[in-house]
Amino acid sequence: MKKLNKKEKITILVITFLALLIRCIWLNGKSGDYIFFLELWVDTIKQYGGFKSLKYNIGDYNVPYIFILTCISYFKINSLYLIKFVSIFFDFICTIFSYKIVNKVTNNKSIALFSYLIILFLPTLIINGSLWGQCDSIYASFILISLYYLLDKKYIKSFVFLGISFAFKLQFIFILPLYIVLFFREKDIKWYYFLLIPLVNIIMCLPAIIMGRNITDVLLIYFNQTNTYKSLVLNFPNIYNIIQSNSIYAIIHNDIISKVGIIFTMFIYFIIWLYILVKKVKFNKEKILTFGLWSIVTATYFLPKMHERYMFVADILSVIWFICYQKKFYIPVVINIISLITYFNFLFDFDFISYNIIALVYFVVIILFTIYLFRLLGCSNEDRRNCLE
């Protein structure tokens, strides 16, 4: 990668300063999640002796993020600001690796700088950390780093960073099918690389285990998370909004619908996996990024118990994908608008359109994107242009 010249460095500094300035405007905002959860968790950590508290079950997040809150508890600065500063820091990690991915794919610094500008000012990226105080930029950062090394065929590094992402959020599974599919098509990806994912998670949970927390309790954190909410969907427009508005929903138990939804989602991935094997698809950078994005949007639409923030990585990756390939402009637009609507609905109670309508629009986009994906996978890497016309 060529070094940035002086003009490009100044451009990045100006963009970065403006992005920080915008985020600072929101720093005093307190969301319900901060008031009822994060602030209480930090206060409880203080009461139980800082790092000594790691042996207790405080909060429902995995150990690495609780460890960050534990570090925060030692500062006399308002925890609201520190929590948001952590998320904002990872906003920039997300953006830096978005830049690096675009630069790797396009080999064009001007386009990569444009991606830095667009992604750093994505509304959901700004709102998620600086206003809401959420930490989705952390796991998203490590997914993007993992993708960066995946494109570079540095598979061990890629799986290590995927494991770090897993240690922060279970939502890393949305993109995991990409790695599973590549395992069957890339000889250099060994089966034992997948063991790095849980191994990295255990290593990152060691502080709590060392302090005396039961290892079984640590390993079951994500399992317990998935059983926290009984609703089929929480403030997210997908197929379950449509199901819940149907009269048949009243006579079918949530658990049954959830299991059917999981099985159906796995069936979708199985079908495309078979197609890839039969067609002997050779993956390139475009197919990797396209399949990764498709995997996330498909999972969020068909899996049960989705939340408004679960498309966070897709918000970013859809922009990266479009900037790299200039195809299907409506895909990043619809994805980001849907995410933004859910944010506004949750944070400001701004309910101006039925989620059933949004879910139908989202479904149409997924169908069109799926058709495009099958066409792309069916193309040889050398004949992409003629094949997709």
HSE, side-chain direction, 13 A CA sphere, residue 22: 17
pLDDT, position 294: 98
Euclidean distance between CA atoms 247 and 46, whole angstroms:
49
Q: Is 381 helix (H, G, I), strand (E, B) or coil?
A: coil
Euclidean distance between CA atoms 166 and 187, whole angstroms:
24
Exposure pattern of 4-34 as b/e (b: 16+ CB <10 Å)? Answer: eeeeeeebbeebeeebeeebeebeeeebeeb
The count of other CB atoms within 10 Å of the CB of residue 388 is 13
Q: What is the DSSP letter of 3?
A: P
**Which token pair is 70?**
């534990």
**Which token pair is 174?**
């949305």
Give 68-127 as a DSSP string.
Answer: HHHHHTTSSS-HHHHHHHHHHHHHHHHHHHHHHHHHHHH--HHHHHHHHHHHHT-HHHHI
HSE, side-chain direction, 13 A CA sphere, residue 178: 31
Beta bridge partners of 233: 306
pLDDT, position 9: 86
Euclidean distance between CA atoms 165 and 310, whole angstroms:
14
Q: Is 329 helix (H, G, I), strand (E, B) or coil?
A: coil
Domain borders along the chain are 33-388
**Which token pair is 327?**
């195809």
Tell me whether residue 385 is exposed, middle or buried, using C-beta atoms within 10 angstroms of its C-beta: 0 to 12, 13 to 18, 19 or more.
exposed
Give 193-228 as a DSSP string.
Answer: GGGHHHHHHHHHTHHHHHTT--HHHHHTHHHHHHTT
Euclidean distance between CA atoms 89 and 67, whole angstroms:
16
Give 274-301 as a DSSP string.
Answer: HHHHHHTPPP-HHHHHHHHHHHHHHHHH
Chain centroid to CA 264: 22
Taking 3-state DSSP, the helix, strand and coil percentages for the chain, each rounded to the nearest 5, stand at 75, 0, 25
**Which token pair is 380?**
């040889």
* The one-letter amino acid at 364: V
* The one-letter amino acid at 323: I
Euclidean distance between CA atoms 35 and 25, whole angstroms:
19
Q: What is the mean pLDDT of each run of 10 residues along the chain (389 residues)?
A: 77 94 94 94 96 93 97 96 97 97 95 95 97 97 98 97 97 97 96 98 96 91 78 92 75 83 96 96 96 98 94 98 94 97 92 92 97 93 67
Euclidean distance between CA atoms 290 and 372, whole angstroms:
9
